[in-house]
Amino acid sequence: MPTKPFARIALALLLPVLLLMACQTPDKAAKLAAYVGAYTGTVPCADCEGIQYRIQLGEDGRFVFTAVYLGKASEPFRSEGEYTMDEEGRIVLNPGMDDQQFFEPDADGMWWLDREGKRIEGNLAGHYRLSRMKGGVHSGASARDADRAVNHLSGNEDEPAEGGDLYLRKWKEGIRFYAMGTEPFWALDWKKSGGWIFQTADGEVINLGETEPVYLADSGLTRYSFQTKRYVVRVALKDEPCTDGMSGAPFDLTVALTIQPAGSTAGESARGGIRSYTGCGSFTADPRLHNIWGLIKLEGNVVNPSDYPRGGPVLELNLSTRKVYGTDGCNRFSGSLSVGPAFDYPGLRFGPLASTLMACPGELALYRLGNVLSGMEVSCAWNNQGNLVLSQGVKPLAEFRPID
């Protein structure tokens, strides 16, 4: 019986796939399948009792990652993505992406590797291990379903909340700036009326006191210098977004810190007397800002929502993601948001705001909110009505009412 045309076409399409499958060895897929499951462990933390991690590797080639800062009143940080195994047998989360992470698996767990895929060294090297959890999930389970099953086995029925709320915990603790870094773990906090404190994971604590910042506008740097009986400490904040390599949390600033023994000479410093640390940092923000706001006044002019056929201008400030979203009453806009030291505190910095380009009915002067805020640095205050007032210096720029 002659082969029908559609059958010949199907065979032609299937043949390359079959050849590709035949060329692949099953070893890699089999090895990766052997490591499907849940892994947990607690790694050192610069400003807490430890960070408890759990990684669920699903049979669908996806993972679910959660982290809990022990001893801190915060919700777990959570993320998910794809994973694979590279040619060296390492498990790679988010392969090819900026936030990829490497693990070296074995029969009982896996070792957390550094950003270059190498074993972490030093006194705390033995703490970077995740153990494999006992307790199975059904065959073919996705990472998300398996993660829910592990929650059930652990007695935690609630789905972990998304991360990004570190600023909120710090604010509640009275901390107005925080920074942290890894390799080695360290933390720097500025507590309002309590001074600056530097800490390391091995228990070192240096109380720095208070100091005045020095702004270098041309270079985007803000510098702080501290003198204690034992040390000279210098902190440089660069106006450059930064992402924590362990948690993936966004920060507004890149931080460099040096510690030099007090009274040391230039020669002694050159021989290794200076310790250097790098990491990420942010100024905290009043959590009341994390809301959706309706515009009621712009540059001294009262805004009437009824003048806008598509509804009045709205602004959403998302402190967790450091993003701003909104509408000018016609077009939508969005962009970056940060809290910075180069203006009155508390304050906000709006990045360039991208906008849609729809034709808007009526006077174009109505649709100005996005243009006014784009690239703007403002201070924040609340009036007696609970409305948010954004100002440039002493001049009010915009007033909003909370709508969510």
| The residue type at 96 | G
The CATH number of whichever domain residue 307 belongs to comes to 2.40.128.270
Q: Confirm whether 1 is domain-assigned.
A: no
Q: Confirm whether 211 is domain-assigned.
A: yes
Containing domain of residue 329, as a range? 287-402
Task: Check pLDDT > 70 for residue 115.
Answer: yes
What is the full DSSP assignment across 355-369? E-----SS-GGG--H
Q: What is the mean pLDDT of residues 7-17?
A: 42
Q: What is the pLDDT of residue 12?
A: 45
Q: What is the pLDDT of residues 140-166, one digit of tens each?
A: 444 444 444 434 333 343 333 233 466
Q: What is the mean pLDDT of residues 353-382?
A: 88
Distance between terminal CA atoms of the chain? Answer: 70
SS3 269: helix
Q: What angle do CA 101, 105, 109 make, to 5 degrees?
A: 105
Shared domain check, 385 and 299: yes
Q: What is the mean pLDDT of residues 67-88?
A: 78
Q: Confirm whether 172 is domain-assigned.
A: yes
Q: What is the mean pLDDT of residues 105-109?
A: 85
The CATH number of whichever domain residue 46 belongs to comes to 2.40.128.640
Q: Confirm whether 4 is domain-assigned.
A: no
What is the full DSSP assignment across 233-260? EEEEEESS-EE-TTT--EESEEEEEEEE
Q: What is the mean pLDDT of residues 99-107?
A: 88
Shared domain check, 36 and 48: yes
Supply φ then ψ for residue 53, to 5 degrees.
-110, 150
Task: Check pLDDT > 70 for residue 367.
Answer: yes
Shared domain check, 193 and 142: no
Q: What is the pLDDT of residue 33?
A: 84
The answer to whether 292 touches 323, Cβ cutoff 8 Å, is: no
Shared domain check, 390 and 371: yes
Of the two residues 321 and 328, the one the predictor is more confident about is: 328
Q: What is the pLDDT of residue 211?
A: 92
**Integer CA distances (angstroms), 156 to 74, 192, 196, in order:** 16, 36, 37
Task: Check pLDDT > 80 for residue 131.
Answer: yes
Q: Where are any strands of DSSP class E within 284-362? A: 291-298, 301-302, 314-318, 323-327, 332-338, 347-350, 354-355
Structure tokens given for 387: 């409305």
Q: What is d(CA 282, CA 395) in angstroms, rounded to the nearest whole number?
A: 26
Q: Confirm whether 301 is domain-assigned.
A: yes
Max Cα distance, the chain (Å) = 96
Task: Check pLDDT > 80 for residue 235.
Answer: yes
The single-letter DSSP state of residue 318 is E
Shared domain check, 202 and 320: no
Of the two residues 178 and 48, the one the predictor is more confident about is: 178
Shared domain check, 233 and 338: no
Task: Check pLDDT > 50 for residue 308.
Answer: yes
| Among 230, 240, 277, 282, CA closest to 258 | 277
Shared domain check, 214 and 115: no
Shared domain check, 95 and 133: yes
Q: What is the pLDDT of residues 267-294, one digit of tens each?
A: 554 455 789 999 999 888 888 888 899 9
Q: What is the mean pLDDT of residues 63-83?
A: 77
| Among 199, 203, 200, 201, CA closest to 189 | 199
Shared domain check, 224 and 143: no
Q: What is the pLDDT of residue 20?
A: 35
Q: Confirm whether 12 is domain-assigned.
A: no
Total structural domains within the chain = 3
The single-letter DSSP state of residue 290 is S
Domain boundary, last residue among 106, 124, 153: 153
| Among 30, 43, 35, CA closest to 133 | 35
Q: What is the mean pLDDT of residues 109-128?
A: 84
Radius of gyration of the chain (CA): 26
Q: What is d(CA 185, CA 112) in angstroms, rounded to the nearest whole number?
A: 15
The answer to whether 382 touches 389, Cβ cutoff 8 Å, is: yes
Q: Confirm whether 144 is domain-assigned.
A: yes
Shared domain check, 299 and 265: no
Shared domain check, 226 and 122: no
Structure tokens given for 361: 């009915």
Q: Confirm whether 227 is domain-assigned.
A: yes
Q: What is d(CA 364, CA 358) in angstroms, rounded to the nearest whole number?
A: 12
Domain boundary, last residue among 283, 310, 333: 283
Domain boundary, last residue among 153, 181, 206: 153
Shared domain check, 319 and 383: yes
Structure tokens given for 239: 């106006």
